[in-house]
Amino acid sequence: MGGRVDSAVSTEVKIIEEKQIGKGFYGFSFKTPKGTLKIAESITGAIVGDSFEEVISDIKNAPLKIIKQQIEDVKRELKKGCQRLSNQDFFKLYTY
């Protein structure tokens, strides 16, 4: 055996809305195949919440240093490799 079992995965989604989520960061909303709304952070595409209100509150209450570190951590992981999945396969893994 071998290889990474924890590598990043991605898919394409239709953006419903993009807006500022605080401290200079942006997020976008999209719907999953089950119809639930999710919010992703725009730099990395990481899913960060279920509503803009939730994410805006989280950003407001988080130290900027920690937010920047989390984004850098994800960017570093993405550089290691990111497997692009079909929308169907992605949402089989992540049952949002």
Helix H, strand E, coil C: the string for 45-96 is CCEEECCHHHHHHHHHHCCHHHHHHHHHHHHHHHHHCEEECCHHHHHHHCCC
Asked if the structure places residue 82 within a domain, the reply is yes
Asked if the structure places residue 46 within a domain, the reply is yes
- Quick one: pLDDT at residue 94? 83
pLDDT digits (tens, 9 = 90+) for 31-58: 999 999 999 999 999 999 999 999 999 9
pLDDT digits (tens, 9 = 90+) for 59-70: 999 999 999 999
Share of residues in the chain with pLDDT > 90 (%): 83
pLDDT digits (tens, 9 = 90+) for 8-37: 899 999 999 999 999 999 999 999 999 999
Asked if the structure places residue 4 within a domain, the reply is no
- The count of domains in the chain is 1
Question: 38: domain range?
Answer: 11-93
- Quick one: pLDDT at residue 2? 44
